[in-house]
Amino acid sequence: QSVLTQPPSASGTPGQRVTISCSGSSSNIGSNTVNWYQQLPGTAPKLLIYNNNQRPSGVPDRFSGSKSGTSASLAISGLQSEDEADYYCEAWDDSLDGCVFGGGTKLTVL
Amino acid sequence: EVQLVESGGGLVQPGGSLRLSCTASGFTFSNSWMHWVRQAPGKGLVWVSRISNDGSKTDYADSVKGRFTISRDNAQNTLYLQMNSLGAEDTAVYYCARRYTSGSFYYFDYWGQGTLVTVSS
């Protein structure tokens, strides 16, 4: 049972827009910034979004993040086949004194 | 080019011990907080432990507290994870990751390729 809650799966067709939600609490998302990571099959996670809505250089602007209260979301527009991966949200938890992750969302491009 | 290279994984019997290493290059290791994150087969990412840049502060997930010890050697640009009293629930790929910090936000910007630890008789 992960501290941050994500839907286990999401899907869309090429060109569509999909969103992935991440729900937490006041001790994590409510008081700290949210990061998103993309994990392609068989590889290490890669930073996708940091500080709620910032993209590292090299990440396409098709990817965007937002946060409101104790929830965050990742949006992917213009879906492409190479976006098929697992996506994880992450934040620091002040009560646990550690990082917490969502359970991950497996994105399928139909 | 930034590199984090883990080593030391393998097959270990229940109750046994293992020490993981993570060798860093391409950034100033001694200025960086470092973490271990693990991923059981087919499961999600789980935070394990962190250590401050100078090694003076460490934190652990409850699931490993008292069994795992994180440490570092800044002269060798190497991060360690000593794992004792291993159980089947510790079977996972273990990643080392750098925690970038800037004011009020922080994130894992660099990850190693991971090393697999399998606990089985």
C-beta separation of A102 from A2 below 8 A: yes
Cβ separation A44–B37 shorter than 8 A: no
- Name every chain A residue with its beta carbon within 8 A of the beta carbon of B62: 96
Tell me, yes or no, if A106 comes closer than 8 A to chain B by beta carbon. no
Q: Rounding to the nearest 10 degrees, give the CA dihedral for residues A103, A105, A106, A107.
A: -170
Residues in chain B: 121
Cβ separation B46–A98 shorter than 8 A: no
Which residue in B23, B104, B40 sits closest to A32, CA to CA?
A: B104
Tell me, yes or no, if A97 comes closer than 8 A to chain B by beta carbon. yes
Cβ separation A88–B106 shorter than 8 A: no
Cβ separation A44–B113 shorter than 8 A: yes
- C-alpha span between B78 and B8 (Å, rounded): 13
Give residues with Cβ within 8 angstroms of A14, minimum separation 6: A79, A80, A81, A109
Per-residue pLDDT averaged across B21-40, rounded? 97
Q: What percent of chain A has pLDDT over 90?
A: 98
* pLDDT tens digits for range A84-105: 999 999 999 999 999 999 999 9
Q: What percent of chain B has pLDDT over 90?
A: 97
* pLDDT tens digits for range B82-100: 999 999 999 999 999 999 9
Tell me, yes or no, if B44 comes closer than 8 A to chain A by beta carbon. yes
- Name every chain B residue with its beta carbon within 8 A of the beta carbon of A35: 107-108
Torsion B107-B17-B5-B93 (CA) sign = negative
pLDDT of residue B103: 82
